[in-house]
Structure 1
Amino acid sequence: MADAKPSPGKGRKPSSGNKKQFLTSMDPEVIRRIKQAAIGQDRTASEVMEEAAKEWLERHHAGKK
C-alpha cells in the first residue's frame, strides 16, 4: 500500500503542551551522565535538564527582578 503511513519508529516524540525544543552542545560524558541519572529517577533527560536550568536561573537571577 502506497498510502499507508510508516509505523512510528525510534526517535523524538512531539513535545507535550506548550514546550519548545532547545538544541545545545555538551560534553558527551556529561550527556551520558544526565541520561543515566534521569533513567535512575524514571524521568526523561529533558525533565532533568529543565529542572537544572530553572535552578540555575533562580541562583543567578535572584534579586534581579
Structure 2
Amino acid sequence: MFVVWDDGTLHDRFSDRVLFTIRDQYGHPIAFSGRRLSADDTQPKYVNSPESLLLINQMNFLI
C-alpha cells in the first residue's frame, strides 16, 4: 500500500514495519496493521491500513 505525500511522491505506508493481518471471522484478510521496527520516535509506533467499506461492515457485524 502506498500513500501520496504532498509533493506528489509515492511512499510505502508500511516501510520498516512488522505487518499483522486483520482477518474477518472467515479468515479473509480485511486490513493490515504495522508496528515500527526502529526507535525513531518521529514516526507513529503503529500504522493501520485506511478504513474501507469492507472493514467498517465487518467490524459492525462483529459488534
**How does the TM-score come out when normalised to structure 1?**
0.21
TM-score by length of 2: 0.22
- Quick one: higher RCO (CA 8 Å, sep 6+), 1 or 2? 2
- Which has the greater radius of gyration? 1
- More helix by proportion, 1 or 2? 1
